[in-house]
Amino acid sequence: MNIRPKIVAVNGSIRDGNTAEVLHEVGLMAARRGLDFEVVDVRDLRMLGTGTCGDCNSRTSACTREDDLPAAVRRLSEAAGVIFASPVQGFGISGLMQTFIERAGVCHMRYERPLTNKVGGAIAVARRYSSTESWSHLVANLLLNRMILVGSGFPATVHGLHPGEAVKDEEGMANVERMVERMIDMIELLAAHRELTGRDPLPVSAANERAGIAFETLRGRG
């Protein structure tokens, strides 16, 4: 049975507004190309903050505090493409999105980098200011997780204040569509290579970049 490739987007907005509407359009774009699409709404997740235990840089396995992050990370790891999307708040990404990035990244994904070689994309939604800075913040975290970013021209930044305004930003939505199309092109290219050769087109390094812990320690105790 053929399994349709899937893109999973992380929506870092606390409201069901412009960011959700932009992602709805992304879902339609994916469907036109034959991909499944789903959204992880961070506002619906039960997320504990990073704890005061202070052992994140010494432990060699995922955090054992129980919340919804392991299931959310699993949804991302099952996708062919991952999009980080956030509204701009306080001249940066939303606090909710930052909490997700910290909790998912530091406490779970840093150990085995399960998003390695996923095709990544970033979308920032702003009223006017700091869209590029917020987009760059999201991109940095996609790269940290060893994802593949495909150049698609201008950043996928969309502008609007009230619900319904962002999707009317023709230039911004054109940039989003260009990014999504290029993501899907790369997903299809990687899938074709795997089918032809039976292996991943890019190496999946077992090395972990974490400072302060030798790779041998991670390999021996992970």
Convert the pLDDT of each residue in 135-191 to its tens digit.
Answer: 999 999 999 999 999 998 999 999 999 999 999 999 999 999 999 999 999 999 999
Helices 69-77 and 95-104: angle between axes, nearest 10 degrees = 80
Cite the DSSP H helix spans in the chain: 18-32, 69-77, 95-104, 131-144, 170-197, 215-221
d(CA 138, CA 123): 8
pLDDT in tens, 108-134: 788 888 999 999 999 999 999 999 999
CB 104 within 8 A of CB 65: no
Window from 36-40, 72-76, 103-107, 167-171 with minimum mean pLDDT: 103-107
Q: For the chain, what is the mean pLDDT?
A: 89
> Nearest CA to 143 among 192, 109, 92?
109
Domain ranges of the chain: 6-221
Between 217 and 79, the higher pLDDT residue: 79
- Predicted TM-score (pTM) of the model is 0.90
Token pair belonging to 137: 């913040």
CATH class assigned to 6-221 = alpha beta
What pLDDT sits at residue 106?
82
What pLDDT sits at residue 202?
84
- Taking CA atoms, 25 is separated from 39, 174, 197, in Å, by 12, 11, 34
Q: Say how many CA atoms lie within 13 Å of 144 toward its Cβ.
A: 16
Q: Which single residue is written with the structure tokens 């949804």?
A: 75
d(CA 215, CA 221): 10
